[in-house]
A and B are shown apart, each in its own frame.
Chain A
Amino acid sequence: MKYGVYIFFASMLVLASIYAWFFIHETKGVRMDQMDELFGFERPAANYTSKVVEEGGYDDYGGKQKDTHVSRVEVA
């Protein structure tokens, strides 16, 4: 019986936990739109969501948005 196999896998698990400590971001309770920020992604026109939701403003797409959508968000 080969005990080396288990030493190998156990050591991989230790490496996995070291990896997790440094590279796994805690994503508990992180909302969909906060993931971009967490992973350092700059979304073009990322201000769209906040604009519509917070100010009830207009879209950045030259009116491509249907009016129903914007008004629905304004209500909220």
Chain B
Amino acid sequence: MGVQLVPAGLLALGIPFLRESPTWLLKRDREEDAYTALSYYRALPVDHEYIAQDVAHIQNQINSERAVTGGARPTFGAFVKAALRESCKKGMRNRFLLVFIMFMWQGWSGAAAINYYSPTIFKSIGLTDVTLWTGIYGIIKAAGSIVFFTFFIDTFGRKMPWIVSSLACAACQYYLAGYIAVANPTAGDAQSAGTVAGGKAATAAIMIFGAAWSFGANGLPWIISAEIFPAGLRSISGPWAGMSVWLWTFVVTKALPSMFTSKYPQR
């Protein structure tokens, strides 16, 4: 039962390596600290031109934010009002929509269906050692995500990995659908050699799905939602991303059981 402590423990170990938000520091007029924090995050020297430009840009955004909220320490109401007005402008609302839709695709990517129901799938394709295979599937996803988002995202970008990942995941699920439709495996029943071979391929399809999903819908919506918004709106855009992911998770989780028990199509 203590396994749940592992991710939380890793998070706790990472906290000392965090620096204060440069935007927040600049809002508090702690400019030196902002330079230090940015230099840490960018792994660039404090006097690097890039750092100075970042600070100038954040400062500019804070200033335009202050200009509309009326002062360095706007009331909560004034800030929210100004932020909402800015969020609805052309060139800003499309970013909020993009984040919302990307989390919608993430929710409807079928990962939830495979996550929550992979034991059922493993059983249905004739596997008996369900715990082992669920564990392997989880490890593939975790390792794939860590490797891709640590080493490759700034080589391959966001758009092409998203497209490649989505199509690969789709191919895996089409195969699963075909296998289930044709072989209709049931746990415990005697199975033909063809059904067993198809089941092995279906297990491979689930594992490939996990690997492909780990560099696509799994993390890319978070990456994009974190990088496209201006500093002044991040206290709005972060919760917006969180709201989007939980809204779609809720919808998909609610819909799944009735999707699985639906009468059509059936065999």
Contact = CB atoms under 8 A, between A and B. Distances in A.
B100 interface: no
B173 A6 contact: yes
Interface centre among B51, B184, B227, by most A CB within 10 Å? B227
Interface residues of A, number: 57
B144 to A, nearest CB: 17
Nearest to B110: A9
B109 A13 contact: yes
Interface in A10-64: 10-17, 19-21, 23-33, 35-36, 38-46, 48-49, 52-53, 59, 61, 64
Interface centre among B47, B48, B57, B229, by most A CB within 10 Å? B57
Contacts of B261: 2
Given A1-B184, A41-B91, A69-B59, A9 B173 contact: yes
B228 A6 contact: no
**Is the contact region of chain A dominated by helix, strand, or loop, or is it mixed?**
helix
Interface centre among B51, B59, B186, by most A CB within 10 Å? B59
B8 to A, nearest CB: 30
A16 B166 contact: yes
A32 B124 contact: no
Contacts of B29: 66
A61 B67 contact: yes
A8 B109 CA distance: 9
Interface stretch (B11-19, B76-84, B129-137, B174-182): B174-182
A13 B265 contact: no
A29 B158 CA distance: 10
Interface centre among A1, A14, A28, A61, by most B CB within 10 Å? A1
Given A16-B105, A36-B230, A45-B60, A72 B52 contact: yes
B228 A69 contact: no
A36 B231 CA distance: 12
Contact of B47 (A8, A46, A75): A75
Interface of A: 1-17, 19-21, 23-33, 35-36, 38-46, 48-49, 52-53, 59, 61, 64-66, 68-69, 72-73, 75-76
